[in-house]
Amino acid sequence: MEFLKYIIKTRNYLAGVSFVVIGLFILSALCAPLLVSWDTATQVSLSTALEPPSLTFFFGTDELGRDMLARIIWGARITLLIAVLGVAMSLGLGVLIGGLCGFYAGRISELTMRLMDVVIAFPRILMAIILITVLGVGVTSLMLAIGISGIPIYARLFRAPVLALKQREFVLASRSLGARDSTLLFSHILPNTSSLMIVQGTLSLAEAILIASGLSFLGLGPQPPIPEWGAMIATARAHITSHPHLVMVPGLALFFVILGFNLLGDALRDYTDPRMTTSR
């Protein structure tokens, strides 16, 4: 609620619109079974194939007669599942590795961070493709690929704040009172990086959705008839001139959701920045 008050007070209309867009995206993903049936999104009906947008089919139908609106709604559910689980995995493990390497300085931590640097040198999309090639295509493999490929980024990002925080007075005071290392790290240091976790996690959701859609476009994501926005765009390429709505509908869905997460992440970054407290 405080964040919403901040948006209203600063008249950040883009962040407000982004908040609404992301809210609708999450709501439609969570309530997909209540809004439309799975059969509507996956069942073939050639008699209604390639219908243009109308009152009967608001977003039209695809080449197999499946309702595009239903596929967009169920696609949002699958996209949100992949992005959230992938980011949660990379964020959790990355923060843990970065936190341990920052808290325990030594040869092992230095070797670990050099390994993270080597992994970061590889393009993330290329690493995800390699992982999916090993694990096989599917929703689970795509989620694991996004999660594993993002771990080095978070490990590098969160090591520096831990290095700085472990020298702060409140940590040194707790250590002098006999607090254990685990208490210092998990009860005093990492909770003070929670704002960075929230901001970076929000921004990373946009990147995860983009990577997942790109890999699905290449055929490395959920397989038919599972609706996924990137795969829907890939399938619709053959009809881009005759039935452009097949590409525009999932394309615009991706555009607004990714833009929404980016703008919302920027607003969260401003909100959590101590230098912006005078604007609240």
Range of the domain at 139: 2-279
Average pLDDT for 84-105: 92
Q: What are the φ/ψ torsions at residue 236 (nearest 5 degrees)?
A: -80, -5
Instruction: Report CA-CA distances (Å) from 34 to 3, 68, 248.
Output: 30, 17, 25
pTM higher than 0.85 for the full model? yes
Average pLDDT, the chain: 89
Gap between the Cα atoms of 96 and 189, Å rounded: 12
Instruction: Report CA-CA distances (Å) from 198 to 127, 191, 272.
Output: 25, 11, 9
* Residue 61, helix vs strand vs coil: strand
Read off the pLDDT band of 274 (50, 70, 90): low
Contact 69, 59 (CB under 8 A): yes
Gap between the Cα atoms of 206 and 200, Å rounded: 10
CATH at residue 93: 1.10.3720.10
Instruction: Give the total number of structural domains in the chain.
Output: 1
Most confident of 47-56, 223-232, 247-256: 247-256
Checking if the pLDDT of 39 tops 60, the result is: yes
Gap between the Cα atoms of 100 and 154, Å rounded: 12
Gap between the Cα atoms of 217 and 55, Å rounded: 29
Helix or strand holding residue 231 (H, E): helix 229-236
Q: pLDDT per residue over 40-86, tens digit each? A: 899 888 888 888 888 888 998 988 999 999 999 999 999 999 999 99
Pairwise pLDDT comparison (79 vs 273), residue with the higher score: 79
CA within 13 Å, CB half, 45: 14
- pLDDT value at residue 257: 94
Gap between the Cα atoms of 198 and 271, Å rounded: 11
Q: pLDDT per residue over 154-206, tens digit each? A: 999 999 999 989 888 888 888 888 888 889 889 889 988 888 898 899 999 99
Gap between the Cα atoms of 74 and 52, Å rounded: 20
Checking if the pLDDT of 276 tops 70, the result is: no
Gap between the Cα atoms of 191 and 93, Å rounded: 15
For residue 116, give the nearest of 163, 92, 152 by alpha carbon. Answer: 152
Q: pLDDT per residue over 122-153, tens digit each? A: 888 888 899 998 888 888 999 999 999 999 99
CB atoms within 10 A of CB 112: 19
Residues in the chain: 280
Q: What are the φ/ψ torsions at residue 43 (nearest 5 degrees)?
A: -75, 135
CA 86 to chain centroid: 7
